[in-house]
Structure 1
Amino acid sequence: MIDNASIESLKNSIDIVDVIGNYVELKKAGANYKANCPFHGEKTPSFVVSPSKQIYHCFGCGVGGDAIKFVMELEKLAYPEAIEKLASMFNFSLNYTKGSSDYSDAKRLLEAIQRWYVKNLEQNKTAKSYLHDRGVSQNSIERFGIGYVPDGRSVMRFLDSASLPRPQAAEAGIIAQGEDGGYYARLVERITFPIFSPNGAAVGFGGRTITNHPAKYINSPQTKLFNKSRLLYGYNLAKESIYKNKKLIVCEGYLDVVMFHQAGFTEAVATLGTALTQEHLPLLRKGEPKIILAYDGDKAGVSAALKAAQMLAYAGFDGGVVLFPDGQDPADLIAKGESETVAKLLREAKSIIPFVLEKIAESYDLYDPRAKETAYGAMKQFLSGLSQIIKDAYIPMAATLIGVAPAMFGTQTQPNRARESFSQPKNDVAKLSILKTLLEKPELIDFVLDVIDIKMFGTYASLFASVVNGEKEHPQLMGLSVDESIKTMTEKELERALIQFLKTYYEEKLKRIPKDTTMPSSQKVYWIRKIKTDIIPRLKRGELVASVTNI
């Protein structure tokens, strides 16, 4: 395990500008630096690096953090690996302490258990027969490291015989601890598919039952090495082809990936029992490939493909969607010798945006005026999330699909919504200035909470709560921290801002109370008199008034 003092020393010796400058071209912009975000495609720089705060934030995709977080995200590394990467970049010597929690011990354990799984497969005829019946060749079994895990007692015996501590095995996700304190194997009587990080380190396993267990597939739990929302099965084997051919095929299962590769489609990867998420996007972006979604044509597959296609469209990816017909999946077709059919389907993939538009139109009865109106709203909402050039290109298609005039989608451009800006109305700027001050000077939080309730901040209430809870890595708070247009106030300026905020708040209350149909008349009279004759006069005299939220 890396010594904590050593980690702190490394943090103090590196400059985030130097670190990120090794990966992207930074340009000076006032007190900060700017660049095109390395985590999502963009033409106008919205990625900001603050040397004074030693953090980065992208106003486009929302990522942010310190130098270590940047290396973790960009290189797809665990925290200790990122520390070691930075140390090697800056010729810094790390100190280590002994301990069973060292992440490298977990990696060694995973590698040992993987070798044992592979050995077991050779000795289990049922498991091998299943794979061969599914069309998986011996070469693919070896290439993907497919194995087999027997009963739970065998797992425990192996760990003991190999001197692999059970607590360490639990930390790596191989076993789990029950309520009685005893340990049990997470995977039993399953074919195993080892899951690797992009750089080829074993981080977890997927297991496929061959005993008709209700859970057909089980994955390793979340561990310090395994985050299923950021990993793609087979990526370590596919990345060379992805970079070379500028194409990436996303499918639904482990066997689909294995059979795709076996048939020569070596750009194939799969999500790990979860939908494609925003967290996958940086990995999908690497090498700037076209993304082909290759999903089953059943209801669940269509739904997953639609959600993934919308997300990819908003993120600016190019690519297409293939839905395999008649309830078949890629593995089935390839096993039956229909690789050319698969190749043809991939070549004829429906482009992402037309696919989304068509599926939206198909979801409604367009002969029903109300359903048609709903379809129009859904389509307009989807198009509004695209860049104006792309939106304009697809308005005629959208209009044709639901049978309305193109003019109904509007001709005026909206600003690109990808960039989250803090250019707000005056009252919003005041609220953000208060939040930024509390972010920079947390010792003033109690002072503010004495006079303002979090709910009084309206749309910024959740952001206020994040400040109070010290969630400094909240994406919007990071953006607020590096936004030079929002001012950090002195304590005196903060007091004046609070008085003005409260005046505005109670003046608005005065306008709304008479219209409130839920409030008894007697209460209305009381609160109107209280605000007019007590609260607002005190505020005008420069006196802070404790918040009143039970109006």
Structure 2
Amino acid sequence: MIDNASIESLKNSIDIVDVIGNFIELKKAGANYKANCPFHGEKTPSFVVSPSKQIYHCFGCGVGGDSIKFVMELEKLSYPEAIEKLASMYNFSLNYTKGSSDYSDAKRVLETIQAWYVKNLENNPTAKQYLLDRGIAQSSIERFGIGYVPDGNSVIHFLNSALLPLPKAVEAGILAQGEGGRYYARLVERITFPIYSTSGGAVGFGGRTITNHPAKYINSPQTKLFNKSRLLYGYDLAKESIYKNKKLIVCEGYLDVVMFHQAGFTEAVATLGTALTAEHLPLLRKGDPKVILAYDGDKAGVAAALKAAQMLSVSGFDGGVVLFPDGQDPADLIAKGQSEAVAKLLREAKPLIPFVLEQTIYAYNLHDPRAKEAAFGAAKQFLDGLSQIIKDAYIPMTATLLGVSPALFGKQTQPNRAKESFSQKRDDVAQLSILKTLLEKPELIDSVLDVIDVNMFGGYAAMFSALISGEKEHPHLMGLAVDDTFQIMDEAELQGVLRNFLIKHYDMKLKNIVADQTIPFEKKSFLIRKIKTDIIPRLKRGELVAFEGN
């Protein structure tokens, strides 16, 4: 069991804003912080974190508690597991009244084998020479704890000699089990790059082959300690500079990070063999730095930079993009003594939003009217994801790149029939969401027609008719198919939207009947009574009422 005094000491050493900020993006709101609740879907933030009270509460779904409760609920852990998870995140040593834990055992395995990897590097001239040939100094090798892992039998022999249980090495991601329960090493004959949590605790390894293995780099598998989507290589060493200089450099590989730091760019980090994702955003947000994407200038690097720049822009980050020329990466340039050239490239980084606009628009042949129209649609879709002030600031630039009038970006514009910009009135959103769902799930059409007539869709009746007739190439239906504004609902959600739509329809129908002087008195009385006392109450109780044509 975990000693209670140890738990209290952990609680006193962590801050709830920092803990929750490791999992979701928090934004300052007065004395507190707000976010979209991770426990229920919402678009307007109602999840509040109080640094003064060290608690969180969601005004939408009612969840709340302290740091430990948050980790328990989000990660689906027991109380002791959440304590151990937090201790691992913050490199905090827990005391146990009896025994130990999976977390402490895994941590011991990682720390012990890391020291062995470092020792092995000194005894392997080939691996050591590879690093030196890449320009990596001995001081950098030591600072980053770079090591070497030999053959698999040596790994297992070392673990046994160090009295480290092999099942615990599996949990730490050092070993795996094959058929028949046979143990084998995950990393063999590779240069190793230890990966640490933001607080400096070992959580896994990256390995670079020196035997021409097809997989140049591989990482530790997902474990209780290691989640590559929430980690950045080198962050533990870079965070002080990131907070101080308000700058963070994201590059593509371990060697790039090492060489950046060696040249004095100590704000550099790298993703762990994966693209930059939304799960990285909370970590990138810490310290509110300007984020520079420093990627290779090849096709893959440009594509990765574009995707990352789009995500960062829409998420409100400031920063820029540097693409290294002539197929070279940052490590190559720095190794050649061109650190000043790298510094110049970083200073002249293309701001995120202009980079996205240029890459997006110039991907099309602007001399072809249809391609130009498609480029306009793609650029407008990106701008629509930005805040109104930022969007307005970049409309003139976008118009210039496209060679069109800025007026085309006005709210009333419908520039592209293939991706029609539909009215955003609430009724329109409901109708178009119904149509979008039926377009994707035609098996639901009959159930909708049981309660709704085509003519009830007003200005969208033609689209509804085309959908029922199977006219998939109808231009408005094609536009709706590619418009992500409107959600595809499941059957329960569809029924809810249909009920609300029908309630509004019959409310309006009731007003029209009352105002219509041509309807005979007896019929008018019957219709009013039918709608007020039968149809609308049944709808409000959750029943879908069959269409009343009269």
Shorter-chain TM-score bucket reads: 0.5 to 0.7
For 1:150 and 1:328, the matched residues in 2 are separated by: 30
Shift of 1:57: 5.0
What is the one-letter code of the residue matched to 2:121?
L
User: Which structure has the higher relative contact order (CA within 8 Å, separation 6+)?
Assistant: 1
Q: Distance in 2 between matches of 1:499 and 1:310?
A: 32
Whether the 8 Å contact between 2:120 and 2:148 is mirrored in structure 1 is yes
1:396 maps to 396
My pick for the range that moved more, 390-399 or 78-87, is 78-87
Residue aligning to 2:126: 126
Counterpart of 2:67 in structure 1 is 68
Quote the offset at 1:410 in angstroms: 1.2
Alpha-carbon distance between aligned partners in 1 of 2:189 and 2:298, rounded to the nearest angstrom: 29
Instruction: Say if 2:201 is the partner of 1:198.
Output: no
CA contact (8 A) 1:34 1:48 kept: no
Q: Where does residue 160 of structure 1 map in the other structure?
A: 160
- Counterpart in the other structure of 1:483: none
Separation in 2, partners of 1:148, 1:20:
35
For the structure 1 residues 464 and 170, does the alpha-carbon distance in structure 2 shift closer, same or farther, using more than 3 Å as the test?
A: farther
| Structure 2 letter corresponding to 1:261 | H
Query: Following superposition of structure 1 onto structure 2, how do residues 89-128 of structure 1 map, counting pairs within 5 Å?
Result: 96=96, 98=98, 101-128=101-128
Matched letter for residue 250 of structure 1: V
**Cα offsets for 1:146-183 (capped at 9, x unmatched):** 00000000000000000101110000100011122111
Relative to 1, partners in 2 of residues 1:149 and 1:371: Cα closer, same or farther, differing over 3 Å? same
Q: Which residue of 2 aligns with 1:80?
A: 83
- Correspondence for 2:444: none
Kept in 1, the 8 Å contact 2:260–2:266? The answer is yes
Find the counterpart in structure 1 of residue 48 from structure 2.
49
Paired with 1:412 and 1:244, the residues of 2 have a C-alpha distance of: 45
Distance 2:263 2:269 in 1: 14
Cα distance, 1:244 vs structure 2: 1.0
The answer to whether 1:314 aligns with 2:317 is no
Answer yes or no: is the 8 Å Cα contact 1:71–1:82 preserved in 2.
no
Inter-partner Cα distance in structure 2 for 1:260 and 1:231: 18
Tell me which residue corresponds to 2:407: 407
Paired residue secondary structure (2:181): coil
Question: Would you say how many aligned residue pairs link Structure 1 and Structure 2?
Answer: 429
Q: Offset of 1:382 from its aligned partner?
A: 0.3
Could you tell me whether the CA contact under 8 Å between 2:89 and 2:199 is conserved in 1?
no
Alpha-carbon distance between aligned partners in 1 of 2:399 and 2:540, rounded to the nearest angstrom: 57
Would the alpha carbon gap of residues 144 and 464 (structure 1) be closer, same or farther in structure 2, given more than 3 Å must change?
A: farther
Cα deviation for residue 403 of structure 1 reads 1.1
1:205–1:220 Cα contact (<8 Å) kept: yes
SS state of the match for residue 229, structure 1? helix
Q: Which moved more, 1:141-150 or 1:171-180?
A: 171-180
Q: Alpha-carbon deviation of 1:25?
A: 7.5
Corresponding position of 2:136? 136
The alignment status of 1:357 with 2:357, answered yes or no, reads: yes
Q: Look up the match of 1:271.
A: 271
Given the superposition, is the C-alpha separation of residues 394 and 157 from structure 1 closer, same or farther in structure 2, using an over 3 Å criterion?
Answer: same
- 1:371 corresponding residue in structure 2: 371
What is the aligned partner in structure 1 of residue 294 from structure 2? 294
Equivalent residue letter for 2:83: P
Q: Does the alignment pair 1:345 with 2:348? A: no
TM-superposed deviation, 1:67: 3.2
Matched, 1:215 2:218: no
Q: 2:198 is aligned with what amino acid?
A: P
CA contact (8 A) 1:148 1:190 kept: yes
Distance in 1 (CA, whole Å) between partners of 2:230 and 2:163 is 31
Deviation at 1:80, TM superposition (A): 2.9
On the 8 A contact 2:33/2:49 being kept in 1, the answer is: no
Secondary structure, aligned partner of 1:163: coil
401-410 or 372-381, which moves further after superposition?
401-410
Q: Would you say the 8 A contact 1:499–1:544 is kept in 2?
A: no
For 1:330 and 1:498, locate their aligned partners in 2 and report how far apart those are by CA, in whole Å: 54
Alpha-carbon distance in structure 2 between the residues aligned to 1:426 and 1:192:
57
Go from structure 1 to structure 2 and tell me whether the alpha carbon gap of 1:20 and 1:319 turns closer, same or farther (over 3 Å shift): closer
Q: Which SS does the other structure have where 1:180 is aligned?
A: helix
SS in 2 for 1:404: coil
Tell me the SS of whatever aligns to 2:228. coil
Structure 1 residues 427 and 370: CA distance shift in structure 2, 3 A: closer
- How far residue 503 of structure 1 moved from its aligned partner, in angstroms, is 10
Q: CA deviation at 1:96?
A: 4.6
Q: Deviations over 1:425-480 (max 9, x none)?
A: 6998xxxxxxxxxxxxxxxxxxxxxxx99xx9x95845969xxxxxxxxxxxxxxx
Deviation of the 1:104 alpha carbon? 1.5
Residues 302/542 of structure 1: CA separation in 2 closer, same or farther (3 Å cut)? closer
Q: What are the superposed Cα offsets for residues 110-156 of structure 1, whole Å, 9 maximum, x if unpaired? A: 00010000000000000001000100000000000000000000000
Percent identical = 67
- Give me the TM-score of the superposition, normalised by structure 2: 0.67
**Match of 2:134, as an amino acid?**
R
Partner deviation per Cα, 1:480-539 (whole Å, 9 max, x = no partner): xxxxxxxxxxxxxxxxx989949949x99xxxxxxxxxxxxxxxxxxxxxxxxxxx9999
Higher Rg of the two aligned structures: 2
TM-score (norm 1): 0.67
User: What is the CA–CA distance in structure 1 between the aligned matches of 2:385 and 2:353, rounded to whole Å?
Assistant: 12
Other-structure match for 2:305: 305
Cross-structure match for 1:433: none
Gaps of at least 5 residues in structure 2 are 38-43, 414-424, 431-446, 452-485, 507-533
- Alignment partners' CA distance in 2, 1:175 and 1:547: 61
Q: Find the aligned partners of 1:85 and 1:234 in 2 and give their Cα distance.
A: 17
CA gap 1:499/1:103 in 2 versus in 1, 3 angstroms: closer
Separation in 1 of the partners of 2:346 and 2:536?
A: 71
By how many angstroms is 1:46 displaced?
Answer: 3.6
Measured in 1, the distance between the counterparts of 2:491 and 2:136 equals 51
> Cα distance 1:464–1:224, how it changes in 2: closer, same or farther (>3 A)?
farther
| Paired AA for residue 312 in structure 2 | L
Aligned equivalents of 1:36 and 1:279: distance in 2?
Answer: 17
Report the Cα offset of residue 109 of structure 1.
1.0
Q: How big is the shift at 1:205? A: 0.2
Counterparts of 1:541 and 1:387 in 2: how far apart (Å)? 38
- 1:522 — aligned with what? none
Q: Which amino acid aligns with 2:207?
A: G
Deviation at 1:79, TM superposition (A): 3.5
- Counterpart of 2:174 in structure 1 is 174
Aligned counterparts, 1:473-488, within 5 A: none
Query: For 1:350 and 1:201, how far apart are their aligned partners in 2?
Result: 35
Shift of 1:236: 0.5
Alignment partners' CA distance in 2, 1:136 and 1:247? 23
Aligned partners of 1:400, 1:252: CA distance in 2, in Å? 32
Deviation at 1:540, TM superposition (A): 5.2
- CA distance, structure 1, for counterparts of residue 106 and residue 288 of structure 2: 32
Q: SS state of the match for residue 230, structure 2?
A: coil
Amino acid at match of 2:275: A
